[in-house]
Chain A
Amino acid sequence: MSNHKINVTVNGEVEVVEVPANMTLLRMLREKLALTGTKNGCSAGECGACTVILNGEPVNSCMVLAVECDGASVMTIEGLSKDGQLHALQQAVIDQGAVQCGFCTPGVLMSAYALLQRNAKPTDEEIREALVGNLCRCTGYNRIVEAVKQAADQPETVAA
């Protein structure tokens, strides 16, 4: 398998990474950059645990090849809080009790972040649409909806 050298901006940092042609973005993040906050629940685009923001759009990183990300900008869960300040969504997930085992949580937060970026005041229906690809087996989703609503009502970051 031939290796490719790609330039990719991850959470604001420019990274130069050597990746095999068949490596997914998910594996690159976890194995090459040690960003293990992004989870693998299926490797098949079915669970949403691997959701990251690629050039502003939420994607299942298990379905994207790393080589496709040459020149791209990626944001992961590790980039959501800035300078020790939790993002309003993270705080809301804590406040609303929307995390249990937490394995879905990074992906949920990324999908919700993308939603709020394009729609600052989503309806319940729009929240459900945005998160339909993120499976959560623990919470029953209600708390997650409440968390997104709480964050939508707040300025972008709050004190950690």
Chain B
Amino acid sequence: MKYIGKSVPRVDALEKVTGRAVYASDMTLPGQAYMKMLLAHRPHAIVKSVDTSAAESLPGVIAVLTSKDVPANEFGYYTYDQPVLCGPCAKPYADRVRYVGDRVAAVVAETEETARQAVDLIAVEYEDLPVVSDVEEALKPDAPVLHPDVGSNQFGHHFLENGDLAEGFRQADVIVEADYNTPAQEHAYLQTEAGLAYIDEDGRVAVITTGQWIAKDRKQMAHALGLPEDRVRVIYPMTGGAFGGREDISVQIIVALGALKLHERGIHRPVKVVWTREESILAHCKRHPFRVHARWGATRAGKIVAAEVKMLADGGAYKFTTSIVTSNSVLNSLGPYEIPNVRVDAYDVYTNNVPRGAFRGFGGPQGVYIAEQQVNKLADALGMDPIELRMRNLAGEGSLQTTGAPYPPGVTIREVTEQCALGAGWELFRDGTGWNRKAGYGETDQAQSHKRRGIGVACAHKNVGFSFGYPESCTVGIELYGGREIERVVIRHGASEVGMGTHTAITQMAAEALDIPMEQVELISSDTAEVEDAGSVSASRMTFFIGNAIKEGAEIALQKWRDEDRPVKITHTYWPHKTTPPDPVTGQCDPNVAYAYTTQAAEVVVDLETGLVEVEKIICAIDVGKAINPQQVVGQIEGGLIQSVGYAVLENFVEKDGRVLTANLSTYLVPTIADIPEKIDTIVMEIPDPRGPWGVRGLGEVMNMCLAAAVAAAVHSATGVWFDDFPLIPERVLRGLGKLNGRTP
């Protein structure tokens, strides 16, 4: 292949290293006014009244928006359960704020300062309601109900049943049972949310913004603004990171409403808004914390025969993508294993915490933490090596998933596990012992006797594409220009470049499919007025889906070229393998188009005096199917692993009674360059996915799936203590070691 498999420089690299790359927050339009939003800053209340008169009379204020200005005061990813601006209006219960980041009003003014001052002059009368901040409290019969129209704080139940659980436990020689708590996690993308709204040359309301899916943003905007979709336009320039946190609406609707209101009053001025870091942390979603009870059993021969998992997902104040996140956790809480008897129940629960939503891995890391802790504990209880136990239970080609359907073709978790194990010092003994690693457990640091070393391992699969019967597709436009030869190719696509290199991958794949130099491929990107719906940049789907769309479309376009069409202009839609929704009785289904696979080992040093856990080395094997751009693949993997190090040992998102105690980057710590492991060994495997373009598997999230569990196992091997809650910050570790009393928040 000429272009695929080459580590060419990113197509956006030059602009980014020179500071010329444009992000939404960098854009200005002539005459633009500035918006500032009023956040509720209280977790649960009824907005009795909003008095904007003082704000409106401040010189320089152009408009103040409240609930009464929103045509349809509701939005949401799957369910319209969040008010655009909380306050009295026609929609029942839209007068409530349900978390600190709910928006109550917005000011448009000549300058940002004036807008900020005016926001402080808005007088809101609240009637505070009792706050529900704990999932179990939220499910009690007398708990205050956040959404009276739903009737209960439980807004979803996902389950899976297969085999005969009671019989499975009868066969088991050992049973491990535990309660787990997984933490929330903040995306902390470097660019905060931003939007610049204006009325475009065709009279549409347009917003240049940060996001992951132009079509989905447009749909929700059109609904709330009471406009047909074709009167709304969404444009993404470069976006400064996303990781799932931009899957949902942030500023888009309100800033567009600002421009529309001005326009209605004959004021033809664009409106710009940029959230502060605090606004970003308070308002956008977080990774779901899960509270879990798990009980698994295995035979002495190392066959896992029963797995029972019950999970409560804290969904926060609004639904966002919770139900699908939780469904995905159901699947992942059983790992990539063949387990004949299973029962999983997972409940989606509203609380007055910041809403939970998509975060790289999408419920996977939580589910995987459960599965892998259980498997590592079973190995411990059986006195069996954790790799060996996995090898006796991992799925292979032709295996059935725990959901009953066959795995998509190209199951490679066994190959991936083998590579990781070999890379991490395991050996396969042919004398019947199987896989074993002789050293590395609970060793004391020679130089510092208060430090212990350990190693742990975990593995996972990650779905590629939306799951459970979602009607998946991906559309691209392909245009060929020239005379005798193709001189120029235009690819129209809706893949948001949030940093993962999608524009580069698209360029490489188009060049390959059309056999034309990359320099002649031009992209028209992420503008609903210019491109069709490619779907979301999430669920590790874009390279896989758009690659298939380009590959199939290129053949059609080239045929037209050979038929003397000049220029050739086509749009082509890729329709993947159809998945199915969970059966209403058993939850069984054919959930996914494809999977990527990873196995990871972590070596840690635990300081028994300070409780500090340092991840010294990571060995990460991932099957990427085919690396379109090997250098970018390694970069993606390393970046995701460091986010996982943060998730495992550092990032501590603290909320108390619905208030966020870590609303900036000096209290919510993400890994710095000083926190990274000394060594990361990435083992990139390329076993083609039969459904992927050129064999590609999705890569965006798989590296984020299982490191926390590997670290927990490593800490156990160093200290002899199982930690069922994380992040493993020093305080929690010291408590676990019996050196501190009380609970870690």
Contacts and interface: CB of A to CB of B under 8 A. Distances in A.
B615 to A, nearest CB: 12
A39 B632 contact: no
B635 A143 contact: yes
Nearest to B678: A124
Contacts of A100: 241, 499-501, 635-636, 639
Interface stretch (B15-23, B162-170, B416-424, B476-484): B15-23
Interface string B243-281: 100000000000000000000000000000010110000
Contacts of A99: 10, 13, 16-17
Contacts of B564: none
Interface string B174-204: 0000000000000111111000000000000
A25 interface: no
B638 interface: yes
A41 interface: yes
A139 B192 contact: no
Interface stretch (B61-69, B119-127, B599-607, B665-673): B665-673
A39 B21 CA distance: 11
B25 interface: yes
A33 interface: no
A42 B18 CA distance: 21
Contacts of B26: 30, 36
A36 B18 CA distance: 11
A92 B363 CA distance: 36
A43 to B, nearest CB: 6
A78 B638 contact: no
B639 A140 contact: yes
A103 B190 contact: yes
A94 B670 contact: no
A118 interface: no
A24 to B, nearest CB: 12
A97 B635 contact: yes
A137 B670 contact: yes
Nearest to B188: A137
Interface residues of A, number: 55
B499 A138 contact: yes
A86 B639 CA distance: 25
Contacts of B670: 135, 137
Interface string B1-27: 000000101101111111111110110
A128 B677 CA distance: 12
B240 interface: yes
The prevalent SS among residues of A at the interface is loop
A104 interface: yes
B7 A97 contact: yes
B202 to A, nearest CB: 27
B191 A39 contact: yes
B642 interface: yes
A122 interface: no
Contacts of B28: 34
Interface in A32-53: 34-44, 46-47, 49
A105 B17 contact: yes
A101 interface: yes
A115 B642 CA distance: 24
Given A39-B240, A137-B243, A141-B676, A44 B17 contact: no
A137 B676 CA distance: 12
B60 to A, nearest CB: 12
Contact of A80 (B13, B18, B636): B18
B674 interface: yes
Interface residues of B, number: 58
Contacts of B191: 39, 41, 101, 103
Contact of B673 (A39, A94, A134): A134
Contact of A135 (B113, B187, B672, B676): B672
B241 A86 contact: no
B277 A101 contact: no
A61 interface: no
B190 A49 contact: yes
Contacts of B664: 42, 44, 46
A41 B277 contact: yes
Given A39-B190, A132-B672, A78 B18 contact: yes
Contacts of A44: 277, 664-666
A37 B9 contact: no
A137 B18 CA distance: 20
B680 interface: yes
Nearest to A147: B17
A97 B18 contact: no
Given A36-B22, A97-B7, A102 B240 contact: yes
Nearest to A34: B28
A137 B277 CA distance: 14
Contacts of B649: none
Given A49-B190, A78-B18, A128-B673, A140 B632 contact: no
Nearest to B16: A102
Nearest to B240: A103
A86 to B, nearest CB: 7
A140 B665 contact: no
Nearest to B14: A94
A148 to B, nearest CB: 10
Nearest to A47: B665
B700 to A, nearest CB: 12
A106 B19 contact: yes
B241 A103 contact: yes
B17 A94 contact: yes
Contacts of B666: 44, 46
A103 B26 CA distance: 11
B18 A81 contact: yes
Contact of A131 (B23, B241, B673): B673
A145 interface: yes
Nearest to A84: B18
A67 interface: no
Interface in B487-533: 498-501
A66 interface: no
Interface in A55-102: 76-78, 80-81, 86, 90, 93-95, 97-102
A101 B189 contact: yes
Contacts of A105: 16-17
B719 interface: no
A10 interface: no
Contacts of A133: 672
B734 interface: no
A54 B636 CA distance: 33
Contacts of A128: 673-674
Contacts of A152: none
A140 B672 contact: no
25 contacts: A30-B26, A41-B665, A42-B664, A44-B666, A78-B19, A86-B17, A90-B17, A94-B17, A97-B7, A99-B16, A100-B241, A101-B189, A101-B239, A102-B17, A102-B21, A102-B238, A102-B240, A103-B241, A104-B190, A136-B190, A136-B673, A137-B643, A138-B499, A140-B642, A141-B672
- Give the 7 A-B residue pairs with the shortest CB-CB distance, closest first: A37-B19, A101-B499, A103-B240, A102-B16, A77-B19, A140-B642, A140-B638
Interface of A: 1, 30, 34-44, 46-47, 49, 76-78, 80-81, 86, 90, 93-95, 97-106, 109, 127-129, 131-145
Given A137-B189, A137-B190, 11 more contacts: A36-B19, A47-B665, A97-B635, A101-B239, A109-B17, A135-B670, A136-B673, A138-B241, A138-B499, A140-B680, A143-B638
